[in-house]
Structure 1
């Protein structure tokens, strides 16, 4: 058997290995109802973003301000719908 296998009843301790681990994740963002997209973008960029960027232990913080897919970019093909519903449109990715 390999020496890395854990014997029955023993608990593996990976804490020293995991000290160097890096995690990347993306979060889809929707603005609150009742505020404009401009206010959302301004607050996220000028207030929330700088606070998040200064969190200890963080390597990078990126913001992607995205446009909604309202269709009309390409010619329609039959019954194919090329626009997203309002619920499917998100306002940013962090």
Structure 2
């Protein structure tokens, strides 16, 4: 499952069982299942906040473009890179339609 690459129409949500903490504006996450610790920068932290509820990748891009001065292509490429890493590490999951 984790080998799937996300597409713009895919609905994603963060996993509820990931422990998180904010340190100096960055999000620290602990996957007890994997025994690994992860950090996200401030934009990654904002993405994590936004995907508390199911959202398509495209909806997320639109929201981020409104909040940050970024063009569509840059936002899409960077966001897909981040989300695919989070999906591979099983920190996020596909949401039911």
Give the alignment's TM-score, normalised by structure 2. 0.28
Give the alignment's TM-score, normalised by structure 1. 0.29
Q: Which has the larger helix fraction?
A: 2
Q: Which has the larger strand fraction?
A: 2
